[in-house]
């Protein structure tokens, strides 16, 4: 049945590929289909033409021709062969296929090569190639299709010989503009570039805006040019525009500041209510929902302070960053006392609804192979103690079934997670008002989870944390949790489960009762937030420490140890370890929408002191939807040991002390929101010390490369910008252990050999990109 469907799909694709004749039936020789343009650049006497110039010229070539999918004109085919939606509605099945999947034809009547040529000449001039010319030629193919060839004849480039800024220091405005020359974007010897000149004007304007010149704007700055000095050189002079309005030359200070925390966009009623003065800020509130001091602390204006655009931006971003206000606006206007150098500031804030309830019904599909329905309910209060504190109480429940390994098993899980977030650092000493645009946060959280594996065991997990999250810049974030406590307690262990533990004693650690009394710190860097960076990177480093302080105290006080030579707390042993993990990703852009994404993950956990092994929930695993996609979740390793899943036991996960993993994924568009991917993954997990699994599970520098698992595959992604659904099909290429006497799978499968494993493709459904 599946083979027949596959042949049917191939037949459809082939038939569409040969459908160009049906598209021709809709074309007319009088107005042929535009198939694209070619650009030839004659550099003339210029040594080279920078690639950025080539890019800018190509960007001027509009419109773009019809898109192609898999080398065919599928979008055009769907447009012509899908009937128009009824009543011209912009929705429905026909509209989707005709206008979302399909694409209207781009005809020569919509192409204006004269305009494009002039636009390219203008772009050459603004980049220093004055007097350049652009010509074009239209090529018609089979009378129904046409293309254009543009030829750019580039004149010699002009370079900057001298640059002069105002030198008058008797006037404050002129002095500030003149002092800006030391950090100018414009450099002598550089090619003339109008974009750089505009950026320089904006830079100087931003400096003046921080020095009180509220009404100044970049158009008041003029760069005068002289191109008659010869030898393709140019001189520039910066001048202030003549006849500037008085407001533009005045330096302003802030006078009165009014803050309205309950502004209603619809009623526009801001002046009613009680007024409380906090320092130099008038806090006007009718409902007293907010503590004036906490909200006013986010305001960086103060009475008689010189106006600064940085203070304006910092104030607005900090207030919105509290997370309790939906909208914010600051209006600055001449002071009511009539002075021509004072500004009154009015800050209008519209709060979110204080309380909300969110319910989500979902279908849960985990990389561990469990699938089933889930329900999540979250209660949220955005202003719990009237200081913009965010409180949430989340309830999660799901029922799942797994058929992994040919055995059916079921699980029920329920959790409750309260979390309280303060928009400031909670520390036992006073802190100063920070200068960052990002609001620091203090997080206090807890969680209780009960997981029931039918017919096997019940696992109770308790956790609590206290910590801080703050952004250093837009690209750098820090998270420090001085307190991170976890307590895991198994119960209701059945006889069948105990029998399995006896059969596999090395896995007992996964279900031992244990405490984790630790701290952790995470540093994250990513420049993906900047759209102009062609090849962004992502890096995250994390360190976890557990048990060190209490172990030191108990060692000093000579506390008693249990029969396993371990210290206890509340009659239970606790874990002591250090764990480090590094995650690096590189996004290499091959084209406008195609990219090659690589990822390297390294993690090491070292138990010591009170522990001989890493606790299960702090160990590493390999395999799954965001790991090695040719292998089931947590089914790889450790090292070259044979996974227990291959021995038909499907309730355990293979975990270890160390992980090394590398991923490579090529991402490309297919049609509309549908994207494709080709990928390859490699990696494994290892133990630091020998255990019951023997030396095969231990990491050795001279042998780890021979124990890597490798897979490859392909995937589809439905990418709707803020929501991604993906399906990946991975196939194992190399096992870390010997399979039929070999690691690679390129050999005949011998079903009579019990050491042979037949490679099978693995399908994963997931939400979001793997990395």
* CATH code for the domain in which residue 227 is found: 3.10.20.310
In this structure, are 99 and 24 located in the same domain?
A: yes
- pLDDT, one tens digit per residue, over 616-644 is 888 999 998 899 999 988 889 899 887 65
Candidates 159, 157, 154; CA nearest to 132 is: 154
Looking at the structure, tell me whether residues 211 and 319 fall in a common domain: no
The domain boundary, picked from 153, 176, 204, lies at 153
Give the whole-angstrom CA distance, residue 584 versus residue 34.
44
Q: Phi, psi (5° rounding) for residue 735?
A: -95, 145
Total domain count for the chain? Answer: 3
367 φψ region: left (φ > 0), alpha (ψ -120 to 50), beta (else): alpha
Closest CA to 687 of 673, 700, 676, 675: 700
Residue 270 confidence (pLDDT): 53
Q: At what angle do helices 51-59 and 113-126 cross, to 10 degrees?
A: 150
Separation between Cα atoms, residue 262 and residue 227, nearest integer Å: 58
Strand extents, DSSP E, 456-576? 457-471, 476-491, 514-526, 537-546, 568-569, 572-575
SS3 content of the chain, % helix, strand, coil (to 5): 20, 40, 40
Give residue 255's pLDDT.
95
Please indicate, yes or no, if residue 186 is contained in any of the structural domains.
yes
pLDDT attached to residue 509: 62
Q: Is the residue at 179 inside a domain?
A: yes
Within this chain, do residues 317 and 243 fall inside the same structural domain, yes or no?
no
261 with 307, same domain: the answer is yes
Which H/E stretch holds residue 199? helix 194-209
Radius of gyration of the chain (CA): 33
Q: What is the signed CA dihedral for 170, 172, 176, 178, rounded to 10 degrees? A: -20
The domain boundary residue, chosen from 103, 133, 153: 153
Largest CA distance in the chain: 98
E strands present in 335-475: 342-351, 355-365, 370-381, 390-402, 409-422, 441-453, 457-471
Task: Give the pLDDT confidence score for residue 646 in this predicted structure.
Answer: 47
Domain boundary among 315, 330, 351: 351
Task: Please check whether residues 292 and 243 belong to one and the same domain.
Answer: no
Contacts of residue 662, defined as CB under 8 A and 6 or more positions apart, other chains included, come to 598, 599, 600, 601, 681, 682, 683
130 and 202 in a single domain? The answer is: no
Which uninterrupted H or E stretch holds 327?
strand 325-334
Q: Do both 89 and 145 map to the same domain?
A: yes
In a shared domain, residues 194 and 293 = no
Question: How many Å apart are CA 356 and CA 43, to the nearest integer?
Answer: 63
Distance CA 149, CA 65 (A): 14
Residue 239 shares a structural domain with residue 313 = no
pLDDT at 259: 96
Residues 6+ apart with CB under 8 A from 460: 448, 449, 450, 488, 489, 490, 491
Residue-range definition of the domain harbouring residue 53: 2-153
321 plus 304 within the same structural domain: yes
Query: For the chain, how far is it from start to end, CA to CA, in angstroms?
Result: 35
Tell me: do 170 and 124 sit in the same domain.
no
pLDDT of residue 8: 45
Q: Residue 639, Cα to own-chain centre: how many angstroms?
A: 32
- Residue 755 included in any domain: no
pLDDT tens, 248-265?
A: 999 999 999 999 999 988
Helices (H), 210-342: 246-249, 292-296, 309-321
Tokens standing for residue 417: 């997670």
Q: Split the chain (771 residues) into runs of 10 and give each run's mean pLDDT.
A: 44 52 74 93 93 94 85 79 75 79 89 96 96 96 91 96 88 91 94 96 96 96 92 94 92 96 76 86 93 94 95 96 95 86 95 92 60 88 95 91 63 93 91 84 96 85 96 95 92 82 66 85 96 94 94 88 83 91 97 93 94 86 91 87 56 81 96 91 93 82 93 93 87 87 78 74 88 91
User: Residue 648 has what pLDDT?
Assistant: 46
Is 20 among the domain residues? Answer: yes
| 343 and 284 inside one domain | yes
In a domain, 272, yes or no: yes
pLDDT at 20: 58
pTM: 0.83
* Assigned domain for 239 exists: yes
User: Does 510 fall in a domain?
Assistant: no
The answer to the question of residue 237 being in a domain is yes
Neighbours of 309 (CB within 10 A): 17
Cα 746 to chain centroid distance, Å, stands at: 38
């Amino acid at each position: 049945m599946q083979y027949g469907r596959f042949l049917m799909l191939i037949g459809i694709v082939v038939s569409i590929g040969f459908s160009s004749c049906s598209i021709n039936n809709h074309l007319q020789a009088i107005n042929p289909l535009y198939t694209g343009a070619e650009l030839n650049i004659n550099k003339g006497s210029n040594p080279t033409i920078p690639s950025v110039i080539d890019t800018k010229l190509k960007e001027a070539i509009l419109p773009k021709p019809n898109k192609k999918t898999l080398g065919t004109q599928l979008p055009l085919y769907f447009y012509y062969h899908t009937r128009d939606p009824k009543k011209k509605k912009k929705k429905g099945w026909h509209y989707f296929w005709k206008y979302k999947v399909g694409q209207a034809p781009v005809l020569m009547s919509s192409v204006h090569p004269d305009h494009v040529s002039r636009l390219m000449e203008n772009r050459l001039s603004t980049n220093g190639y004055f007097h350049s010319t652009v010509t074009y030629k239209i090529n018609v193919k089979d009378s129904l299709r046409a293309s254009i060839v543009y030829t750019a004849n580039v004149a010699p480039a002009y370079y900057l010989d001298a640059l002069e800024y105002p030198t008058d220091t008797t006037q404050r405005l002129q002095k500030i503009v003149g002092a800006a020359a030391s950090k100018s974007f414009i450099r002598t010897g550089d090619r003339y570039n109008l974009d750089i000149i505009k950026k320089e004007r904006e830079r100087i304007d931003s400096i003046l805006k921080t020095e009180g010149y509220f009404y100044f704007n970049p158009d008041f700055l003029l760069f005068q040019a002289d191109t008659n000095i010869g030898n393709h050189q140019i001189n520039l002079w910066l001048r202030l525009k003549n006849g500037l309005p008085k407001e533009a030359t005045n330096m302003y200070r802030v006078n009165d500041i009014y803050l309205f925390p309950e502004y209603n966009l619809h009623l526009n009623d801001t002046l009613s209510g009680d007024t409380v003065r906090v320092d130099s800020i008038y806090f006007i509130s009718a409902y007293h929902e907010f503590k004036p001091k906490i909200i006013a602390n986010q305001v960086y204006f103060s009475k008689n302070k010189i106006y600064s655009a940085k203070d304006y931006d910092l104030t607005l971003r900090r207030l919105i960053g509290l997370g309790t206000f939906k909208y914010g606006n600051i209006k600055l206007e001449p002071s009511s006392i009539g002075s021509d150098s004072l500004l009154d500031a009015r800050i209008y804030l519209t709060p979110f609804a204080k309380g909300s309830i969110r319910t989500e019904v979902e279908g849960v599909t985990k990389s561990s192979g469990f699938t089933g329905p889930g329900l999540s309910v979250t209660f949220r209060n955005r202003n719990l103690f009237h200081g913009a504190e965010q409180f949430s109480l989340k309830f999660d429940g799901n029922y799942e079934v797994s058929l992994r390994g040919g055995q059916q098993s079921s699980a029920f899980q329920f959790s409750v997670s309260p979390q309280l977030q303060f928009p400031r650092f909670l520390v036992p000493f006073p802190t100063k008002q920070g200068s960052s645009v990002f609001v620091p946060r203090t997080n206090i959280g807890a969680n209780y989870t009960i997981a029931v594996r039918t017919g096997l065991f019940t696992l109770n997990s308790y956790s609590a944390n206290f910590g801080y999250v703050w952004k250093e810049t837009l690209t750098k974030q820090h998270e420090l949790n001085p307190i991170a406590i976890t307590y895991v307690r198994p119960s209701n262990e059945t006889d069948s489960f105990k029998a399995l533990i006896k059969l596999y004693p090395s896995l007992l650690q996964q279900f031992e009762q244990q405490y984790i009394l630790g701290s952790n710190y995470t540093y994250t860097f990513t420049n993906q937030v900047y759209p102009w960076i062609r090849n962004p990177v992502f890096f995250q480093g994390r360190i976890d420490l557990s048990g060190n302080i209490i172990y030191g105290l108990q060692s000093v006080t000579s506390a008693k140890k249990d029969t396993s030579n371990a210290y206890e707390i509340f009659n239970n042993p606790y874990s002591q370890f250090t764990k480090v993990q590094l995650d690096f990703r590189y996004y290499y852009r091959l084209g406008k929408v195609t990219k090659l994404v690589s990822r390297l993950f390294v993690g090491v956990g070292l138990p010591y002191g009170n522990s001989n092994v890493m606790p299960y929930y702090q160990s590493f695993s390999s395999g799954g939807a965001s790991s090695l996609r040719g292998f089931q979740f947590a089914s790889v390793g450790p090292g070259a040991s044979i996974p227990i899943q291959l021995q038909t036991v499907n309730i355990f996960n293979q975990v270890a002390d160390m992980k090394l993993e590398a991923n490579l994924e090529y991402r490309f568009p297919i049609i509309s929101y549908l994207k494709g991917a080709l990928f390859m993954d490699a990696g494994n997990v290892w133990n630091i010390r020998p255990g019951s699994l023997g030396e095969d599970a231990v990491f050795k520098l001279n042998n780890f490369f021979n124990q890597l698992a490798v897979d490859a595959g392909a995937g589809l992604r439905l990418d709707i910008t803020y929501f991604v659904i993906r399906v990946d099909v991975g196939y194992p290429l190399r096992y870390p252990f010997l399979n039929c006497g070999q690691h690679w799978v390129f050999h005949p499968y011998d079903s009579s050999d019990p050491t042979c494993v037949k490679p099978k493709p693995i399908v994963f459904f997931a939400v979001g990109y793997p990395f």
